[in-house]
């Protein structure tokens, strides 16, 4: 299931390597590299990233992409092979983990089983030698923030998963950490609870204005919660941008493929065909063996070969071509009805394209029908990167 992000204005954001605002960012990661053993491929490869004060940034990627390794290096639980981590303008790469003043929520929550809830939350304050009167006040405030003040004397193992997760969050936030680090905090919860906790974590994060790094492999979570998403693959950041940009304007095929569903068409860009919004251009393109269509992309793509990305819900499937539209003719291979949406798998030559509609109108094709696929030029995005290898 894909959550469609609300379409915020497609603002241009600084691309990854133009880190020119070092002064204003809360966290700067510079050329961070981790190699587990000499000769091995690095788990994190010269990663650069700036995080603004108060932002929630999601490190999103498949397992093994280096997102957790990055988080653990920021936390100080793991030494980087090279590179530096700068917080509030201070290089903390060599600072031991217990002097970094961060807060972290682990996938397993890592609550101390031999302490009760209040003792768990108070631990960080004790380490900071906060007077006991103030400790009690702050512990109580933190527990109230996660709505669990009434459980302060409970044993940890008597709590449900969702409650443990809130206590872990309270324990991390009560020390007013310089950075809040969340390592897949929702992956051990059931689907329903995950949705609730998502919005709760987000609202607590916004209230406390805690600058947050959030590791997840769940694109819905990242799109829903983050101010910025860093899509990672093979130890590199593929794209670092707002959720809307990552979804609507992916810079690589990997990003387009990993976030939501996507149709890819290889096209020859013929000529420019006018100005589009945000400095982009419309193009006439030739899709191999199918004909000429319209697409949109960055300036200067004319004459090159590029991949077009079209999201399934931007692809209309209909029984009759609408006059004036460019349309691809195909055969409906499969119709799947999920209540609020209806999805079509459409066979076009040797390709298989996915289309998705919100409502079922009279003009809905059925399995086996000949149908037409059409799209708006602004929804067919030409990937800026050259085509890698021989992808289909």
Contact positions vs other proteins (CB under 8 A): 75-77, 97-104, 106-108, 110-114, 123-124, 127-128, 171, 175
Q: Please state the closest distance from residue 148 (CB atom) to other proteins, in A.
A: 18
Of residues 208 and 341, the one with the C-beta less far from other proteins: 208
DSSP state of 315: S
Q: Please state the closest distance from residue 270 (CB atom) to other proteins, in A.
A: 53
Residue 234: exposed, middle, or buried by beta-carbon count in 10 A (0-12, 13-18, 19+)?
A: middle
Handedness of CA 201, 141, 169, 150 (dihedral sign): negative
φ and ψ of 352, to 5 deg:
-130, 115
The CA-CA-CA angle for residues 146, 152, 157, to 5°, reads 95
How far apart, in whole angstroms, are the C-alpha atoms of residue 308 and residue 262? 10
Q: Please state the closest distance from residue 183 (CB atom) to other proteins, in A.
A: 9
Q: Please state the closest distance from residue 171 (CB atom) to other proteins, in A.
A: 7
Q: Please state the closest distance from residue 205 (CB atom) to other proteins, in A.
A: 18
- Compute how many other C-beta atoms are within 10 angstroms of the C-beta atom of residue 214: 27
Of residues 164 and 219, the one with the C-beta less far from other proteins: 164
φ and ψ of 110, to 5 deg:
55, 40
Of residues 29 and 173, the one with the C-beta less far from other proteins: 173
Residue 319: exposed, middle, or buried by beta-carbon count in 10 A (0-12, 13-18, 19+)?
A: middle
What is the longest distance spanned by two Cα atoms in the chain? 76
Q: Please state the closest distance from residue 61 (CB atom) to other proteins, in A.
A: 21
Of residues 101 and 384, the one with the C-beta less far from other proteins: 101
Residues 387, 307: contact at Cβ < 8 Å? yes
Handedness of CA 223, 224, 225, 227 (dihedral sign): positive
Of residues 90 and 99, the one with the C-beta less far from other proteins: 99
Q: Please state the closest distance from residue 97 (CB atom) to other proteins, in A.
A: 5
How far apart, in whole angstroms, are the C-alpha atoms of residue 190 and residue 95? 37
Q: Please state the closest distance from residue 222 (CB atom) to other proteins, in A.
A: 22
Of residues 216 and 263, the one with the C-beta less far from other proteins: 216
Helix axes 132-145, 191-208, angle to 10 degrees: 130
Of residues 168 and 332, the one with the C-beta less far from other proteins: 168
Of residues 183 and 326, the one with the C-beta less far from other proteins: 183
3-class DSSP state of 293: strand
How far apart, in whole angstroms, are the C-alpha atoms of residue 283 and residue 290? 16
């Amino acid at each position: 299931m894909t959550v469609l992000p609300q379409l915020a204005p497609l603002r241009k954001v600084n691309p990854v390597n133009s880190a020119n605002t070092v002064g204003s960012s809360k966290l700067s990661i510079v050329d961070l590299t981790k190699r587990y053993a000499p000769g091995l491929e690095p788990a994190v490869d010269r990663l650069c990233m700036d995080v603004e004060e108060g932002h929630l940034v999601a490190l999103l990627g498949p397992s093994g992409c280096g997102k957790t390794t990055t988080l653990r290096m920021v936390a100080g639980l793991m030494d980087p092979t090279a590179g530096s981590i700068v917080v509030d303008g201070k290089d903390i790469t060599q600072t031991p983990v217990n002097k970094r003043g961060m807060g972290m929520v682990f996938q397993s929550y890592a609550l101390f089983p031999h302490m009760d809830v209040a003792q768990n939350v108070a631990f960080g304050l004790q380490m900071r030698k906060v007077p006991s009167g103030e400790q009690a006040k702050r512990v109580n405030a933190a527990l109230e923030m996660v709505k669990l003040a009434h459980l302060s004397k409970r044993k940890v193992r008597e709590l449900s998963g969702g409650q443990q997760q809130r206590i872990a969050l309270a324990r991390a936030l009560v020390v007013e950490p310089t950075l809040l680090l969340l390592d897949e905090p929702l992956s051990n919860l059931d689907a329903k609870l995950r949705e609730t906790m998502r919005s709760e974590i987000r609202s607590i994060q916004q209230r406390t204005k805690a600058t947050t790094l959030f590791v997840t492999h769940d694109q819905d979570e990242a799109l829903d919660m983050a101010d910025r998403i860093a899509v990672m693959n093979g130890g590199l950041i593929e794209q670092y941008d707002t959720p809307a940009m990552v979804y609507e304007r992916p810079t690589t095929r990997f990003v387009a493929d990993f976030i939501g569903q996507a149709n890819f068409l290889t096209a020859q860009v013929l000529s420019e065909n006018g100005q589009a919004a945000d400095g982009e251009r419309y193009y006439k393109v030739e899709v191999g063996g199918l004909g000429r269509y319209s697409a949109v992309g960055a300036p200067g793509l004319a004459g090159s070969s590029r991949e077009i990305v079209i999201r399934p819900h931007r692809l209309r499937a209909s029984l009759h071509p609408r006059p004036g539209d460019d349309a691809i003719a195909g055969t409906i291979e499969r119709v799947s009805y999920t209540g609020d949406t209806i999805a079509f798998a459409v066979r076009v030559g040797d390709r298989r394209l996915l289309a998705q509609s919100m409502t079922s109108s009279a003009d809905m094709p059925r399995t086996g029908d000949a149908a037409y696929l059409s799209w708006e030029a602004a929804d067919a995005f030409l990937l800026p990167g050259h085509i890698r290898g021989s992808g289909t």
